[in-house]
Structure 1
């Protein structure tokens, strides 16, 4: 499977949209989760500090400043206690207890939630500014209590939470991307198998069927493929019936028409000139009728795909050259110059007889509708995968409004019905041959 083809498929675009949607959903969920964790953390911190203040307030009410200072000292020394910082000062602002050296200037009077920067004296004796967050409150004797937490602890927790959430989001996106890629590849493989089978069927092999998925599964794709195969079976049956009908027509009508022509021909051996002319006219009409009949059968066989037995390695350039050589006398009668621009060779696997007939129809039209002393050009371009052949003339051309209808059977441009012979099947056969070879016919 070609990865570059997957990038341009509708399946890949849907997978990208799916991954984008999943990524946005994960981002929103994780953002909400981060906000919820952050709010919960600060709510818990607020409850913890408030609980400490209430506990120390009750100790102060029962035992006074000394008991409160002792309780603060125990908390500072306890390694298992939540990492909080305390400061108890008297009404004059003198430090009584705690692991903060002085009352911060930014903290006002009364109970409030504050963020502050404070200098702690480290064990080494150095002075280091640190950020804190907490709240202060008044005690009964006018002393003030400050309980805070080091902001570094808070930021580390939030950073750790954010890192975990981002890693979870990245892992989810990576897993989603892998899943989307596998899904896109699987769908592309299934669609590719369907397209390959349909292409083979369109090329004329009506016995080809789309491979059915695991028989033990009953998913949408399997039901779709089963229904498509049932439809192809029905189409194949209809085409077989059509082929049988064509064979019956060929047997029941072509043989009597041939006998009729032979009997008419036997009437033309007398000496009556008028009768001979009448017989000649009837012979021409019989020949035209047989030609039309044979052309219809040929088109039906080509469109049914039964004409692929004639495919073999062929030089298309040689076929075009033979067609032009065959029509050279007809062009000479109208003093037309036929210009050829052909490559030396253009090999491929084609049906030589069908291509000869199709090219002959196109060149016959070009010579027929080009004026006397006009010009006809045949240009051929041969590439490894494509062959393009262009027939040009300086005739009146076909009106754009009629360019699609001229491929219909028996349709003829009105201006040509009285001036030129024909049955309106030439371009129909050309298109049928082109479709059989995987090509197309364009009019300009």
Structure 2
């Protein structure tokens, strides 16, 4: 056991220091290479300016009708003059990339010519080829006279000294960092031994306790956290000896009772909240409008009465010992009509959240099921969409026949969540966004929806597409007999 813990510490410290060493070394290397590129770029810009000045002066002295033709005629002169003035290899090309003249054909005929290809397309470009302490840059740019591209100038410049100095600096930093990390690793190893030895003994003692041997007292004469941990462990063993018999008798029974009580309370809270939401919405609107809109008043009162009855039925159902649904309670019902009614009643709740509900529901969407359970399914889905959609958004509900199935689609704009969350969201008590969840919501809505869909022999899917969370439900379609 000592060897195992010590090995873990050694491997851990080795990985941390190695990774830190590699990151530091790579960072320094990147900084130096970046600095070198800036120096190279600056030199190349100066080369280009001087070369362009020389070519422009040559064109000013001799006035030719065809600048491109003159550029070709004076290619050798340009190469000779610029090679002498800059000390670099010079190549002169046509606008199509054909070599007209060069100070060293071997230099320009080997290696990659990516910079030349870019210059043909009218861009300034260069690439660096380096091997250990050797470095050479090929720089190509189009020559433009009076707004017309007359040719391409390519320069080969040696940067061996710059990259050699950079390599020496990198080597110095590498060895200094290596020495520091080796010293830190040795110190960490010594410290780990001082920590791991008492931890191993404490682990052996806890293993004995796990096996039921409560005589595993340990003693370390230390005045630090490990010494305090030892005293606490010995005190814990003493308390366990006094209480172990009582815990073994009552533990399982109390846990089972607590879980049953919590599950019942959570389910009852969520089941009762959905009809109360509808009742509250209509009651608030009726309170504002009074009896001025008699049609709406009658409709609202009918919904309040209907939801109150459903609330009563829910209370009775939640108090039943068994929640199993017998087959004779299922009937042929128009699910589309139920969904329309739920959409109308939930519009007012959506308006409170500054959101809109738009629905497209076909006629005669008959399924085999329970009216109250399907109503509860639709209310939970709409309530979920209202709470978790983006602000000032529009919730879209569609219902139609798809083959031998009735397809219900609930779509609301929302933020993207992890795929793992979409798989867990149907589980009881799970909520994707605890911060956005309404106070009192316990993550049971979609779990209840899944249960109802399965009771009706249907399937439910939840996924994210085009910035929208989409829930689709399929139930078996009962064709209308004519």
TMscore range, shorter length:
0.3 to 0.5
TM normalised by structure 2 equals 0.30
Structure 1 or 2, whichever has the larger Rg, is 1
TM normalised by structure 1 equals 0.32
